[in-house]
Structure 1
Amino acid sequence: MAISVDKVFKEKMKDASFREEYEALEEEFAIARELVKARVEAKLTQAQVARKMGTSQSAVARLESGKVGSISSIKKYARATGKRIQLKLVAG
């Protein structure tokens, strides 16, 4: 019998140290979600975005995993998907 990812995640979130580490990465996860959303909306593969950026598919995969690189890389990604960056700082 397989265990669902959601069930495992809910169990892990009961652990305070896991939850703290997960929540500390929320900003990176949010950036990753936005990048993937832009690519999907543009109906592009990672390889297609990479070609438009002049980089490798693995570099795009790293950006989409939350291992965010430079602002320059994100700007190139945005242009490749027909988007632009809008930065907003909010109260913590």
Structure 2
Amino acid sequence: MSKDMHEFTMEHTGDLDAYFAEMMKDSSYREVYNEEKNKMASAMALLEAREEAGLSQQKLADKSGVPKTTIVRIENGNNTSIDTLTKLANALGRPLNLTIGPASMA
């Protein structure tokens, strides 16, 4: 009989941590990782702001003039322009804050 997923995960978490620590030593992997991490941070920021405002994707689309399909793509981690993010921030009544922070390994 096989182990349940939780038990397997707990036994192998250290292996995954070591694997990702090793992968982060590779500059090309680290670059792709950081690109994806930044896209997902933008996606989460928009999703959280939209939900806090109590707006559906369609209502935000109507209010901002940005197509719903674009909002869906952004919330799924796809890239977008600062102009589009500005329109969405304005429709949410929030400032758009962009930060380019110090370099880090993770």
State the superposition RMSD in angstroms.
2.6
Deviation at 1:43, TM superposition (A): 0.4
Deviation at 1:83, TM superposition (A): 0.9
Answer with 1 or 2: which has the greater Rg: 2
Corresponding residue of 2:48 = 37
Give the secondary structure class of the aligned counterpart of 1:38.
helix
| Structure 2, unaligned runs of 5 or more | none
Q: Deviations over 1:1-44 (max 9, x none)?
A: xx69xx6xx79875749x85555410001111101011011000
Label 1:12 to 1:67 Cα distance change in 2 as closer, same or farther (>3 A): farther
Deviation at 1:89, TM superposition (A): 1.6
CA–CA distance in structure 1, aligned partners of residues 68 and 90 of structure 2: 16
Paired residue for 1:83, among 76, 91, 94?
A: 94
Decide whether the 8 Å contact of 2:50 with 2:92 is kept in 1: yes
In the superposition, the TM-score normalised over structure 2's length comes to 0.65
Residue type of the alignment partner of 2:74 = L
List aligned pairs for 1:1-40, cutoff 5 A.
Answer: 14=19, 16=23, 21-40=32-51
Decide whether the 8 Å contact of 2:66 with 2:84 is kept in 1: no
The number of residues matched between the two structures is: 86
CA–CA distance in structure 2, aligned partners of residues 68 and 53 of structure 1: 18
Corresponding residue of 2:76 = 65
Decide whether the 8 Å contact of 2:66 with 2:87 is kept in 1: no
In the superposition, the TM-score normalised over structure 1's length comes to 0.74
